[in-house]
Amino acid sequence: MKLLNKILLVSAIILAVLVTVLTVLSALSLRQFSIYTAERHARSVAETVKVGLTESMINGTIKKRQQFLTRMSGIPGVNEVRVARGPAVVAQFGPGFATEDAVHHDVKQVLSSGREIFELVEVNGELIFHAVIPYIASDQGIPNCLQCHTVRAGTVLGAIQVDIPFTEVRHQGLIAVALVSVAVLVAALVALALLRRMMGPLSETAKAVHEVTSQAVEGDFGGRVRQRSSDEVGDIASNINRLLEFLQREVRTIRDRVGELMNFQVKEGGNQLVHTTELVETLVEASQFKQAIEEDQTKAEIYQRLADMLSRKYRIQRFSIYEVASSKNRMAAMSIDGDAAATCRYCDPQVMVDANFCRARRTGKEVNGVAFPGLCTMFRPGAEGDTHVCLPINQSGSAGAVVQIITGADQGDLASRLVPFVNVYLREAGPVLEAKRLMEHLRENSLRDPMTGLYNRRFLEDYVGALVSSSQRRKASFAALMLDLDFFKQVNDTHGHEAGDKVIKTLADLLARSVRGSDFAVRYGGEEFLVVLVDTGIEPALKVAEKIRAEVEATRIPLPNGILQKTISIGVAEFPADADTFWQVVKFADVALYKAKASGRNRVMRFLPEMWDEDGAY
């Protein structure tokens, strides 16, 4: 039900109740007033009768009292006047006329009790106000009753009965009540009409406010409320319009500014408030995402968060994340469909060898295969109808990583719509990935020997805990090879330090080529090196050591004044066969190296317990 109808209905009910109450009160008041008037009239008639009878007794005309009573009965507004003698008067003066006998019950009651009676009775279909008033002896006034009556003061001498017609009074009362009711009803109707006229602008304004606010809830702030009056209702309409104008302007501004930040233009139409809220929420979530990845230790953790964002937030199940190794211009798969161990799946493998084959990597711009099929020649669909969108993660002006989204032909538009939202996360991830890459590079440099490129002893101190724990957990062994060039001091003394540095570098390159990717070589100090062979027992380790020794012996190092050949001595120890701590294994390998040098150099020596006495001497 509309507001105006509700107000009018409630007002009509209130006015109807008011008319009813006023009619009832008017009827009751008029009835009470009519009874009161009749009672006063009856008393006046009774008092007149008393005075008349008293005067008749004084003047000696009491025997003609019936004529007086007959004349009193003929007074307008009086039906009948009767006098009944009380017992005391009958005893003193006799019963009197026949009409003066107390024949009615109410008269006898008044004569016996001395209390007046007033009541409405119906006689022959006519409503009568019936009054019976006692005539009580009094010794007050001149003359007083006791001068003629031999009674005590207060004795009931008689009763005067007065009957007053009430039918006409009731009829006139009903007419008066009806007139009052009609007047009140007309006033109520006039009030309703005025109320409807006054409430019209409020109702229309409320309706208009409802319509424009409903549109505003749906994101449309273009509605306006017509100002129908200059009072408070008009002020409400004006303020609502100002509010809508403000919201329309500010929401559009926020939407456009956020769209600029996201490089995304929101189309007109639809729920602009919801669109703007989605954009702002994306920026907030991306900011929280950035805070989270800034606390990650490695790039791998960041790439995993990106994969989770694609699969969990945007329900993208097929995607690739590649990282570009800037030094080698190659691409490495960081996550394929959420699997960090997978390899290239939706691209030609050439991009893994030469990153320039990747269009997104080369241009640093989005490659949208949905809008431009066949744009990238390296794309290899996983199923018929597959298409893709490749998004670069730019770092320092070039693509440091690439995110590839794979979608079916029927979902291409959805993927395109998701691109601006995904790009927000990628822009936040770019600087963090670059910072992590720089930190890893700096840390890597701090863990490597600047001259040879091999790991240094600091790396060894950081790595040994993980190495020993992994070997103990897997119940695997590893071998430590201590290597030292024979007579290296003579090189520096004879050919100079530049020749010595060249010999060290040559040996470092040889060691790097001689070990697997899971192994590592360390420049332990000066011309001394350490090689750790992971998951390797003593026999394979001895073969590797012998291979290194033979290659060093066969290596010819050109110098400005000739060719130089050097030999190397190697000591080998095994974990956990020789010792259950890393540094003790290294110590035992050093002991074996010492024995190799003492035994003539240019040889490989395996550590034996007898090489180590109880005092730790060798």
CA nearest to 365, candidates 263, 456, 453, 455: 263
Residue matched to tokens 């009491």: 62
Residue range 580-594: average pLDDT? Answer: 92
pLDDT > 90? residue 615: no
pLDDT class of 182 with cuts at 50, 70, 90 = confident
Specify the 3-state DSSP secondary structure of 98: helix
Residue pair 433/395 in contact (Cβ under 8 Å)? The answer is yes
Q: Quote the pTM value.
A: 0.51
- Give the mean pLDDT of the chain: 84
pLDDT > 90: what percent of the chain?
21
Per-residue pLDDT of 460-469, as tens digits, reads 888 888 888 8
pLDDT > 70? residue 4: no
Q: Can you give the pLDDT at residue 614? A: 41
Q: Tell me the sheet residues that pair with 321.
A: 335, 403
More confident residue, 577 or 415: 577
pLDDT > 90? residue 95: no
Q: Can you give the pLDDT at residue 550? A: 93
Q: Can you give the pLDDT at residue 269? A: 63
Residue range 349-377: average pLDDT? Answer: 90
The torsion region of residue 99 among left (phi > 0), alpha (psi -120 to 50) and beta comes to alpha
Radius of gyration, alpha carbons of the chain = 61
Q: Can you give the pLDDT at residue 268? A: 65
Q: Can you give the pLDDT at residue 212? A: 83
Residue pair 333/343 in contact (Cβ under 8 Å)? The answer is yes
Residue pair 353/361 in contact (Cβ under 8 Å)? The answer is no
pLDDT class of 592 with cuts at 50, 70, 90 = very high
Q: Can you give the pLDDT at residue 587? A: 93
More confident residue, 217 or 353: 353
Per-residue pLDDT of 521-543, as tens digits, reads 998 888 889 999 999 999 999 99
pLDDT > 50? residue 117: yes
Residue range 380-403: average pLDDT? Answer: 89
pLDDT class of 184 with cuts at 50, 70, 90 = confident
Amino acid code (one letter) for 87: P
Q: What are the CA-CA distances from residue 361 to residues 130, 263, 390 (Å)?
A: 119, 20, 9
Least confident residue range of 12-16, 57-61, 135-139, 561-565: 57-61
Residue pair 136/156 in contact (Cβ under 8 Å)? The answer is yes
Cβ within 8 Å of residue 244, ≥6 positions away: 212, 216, 221, 222, 223, 224
Q: Can you give the pLDDT at residue 618? A: 46
Residue range 49-71: average pLDDT? Answer: 78
How far apart, in whole angstroms, are the C-alpha atoms of residue 281 and residue 286? 8
Q: What are the CA-CA distances from residue 427 to residues 80, 258, 402, 439, 502 (Å)?
A: 115, 14, 12, 19, 45
Q: Which domains does the chain have, with CATH numbers?
A: 3-171 (3.30.450.20), 218-295 (no CATH), 302-442 (3.30.450.40), 457-611 (3.30.70.270)
Per-residue pLDDT of 227-250, as tens digits, reads 877 888 788 888 888 888 888 788
Q: Can you give the pLDDT at residue 106? A: 84
pLDDT > 90? residue 574: yes
pLDDT > 70: what percent of the chain?
94
Amino acid code (one letter) for 299: K
Per-residue pLDDT of 438-457, as tens digits, reads 777 666 666 778 888 888 88
Residue 100 CA neighbour count, 13 Å, CB half:
18
pLDDT > 70? residue 103: no
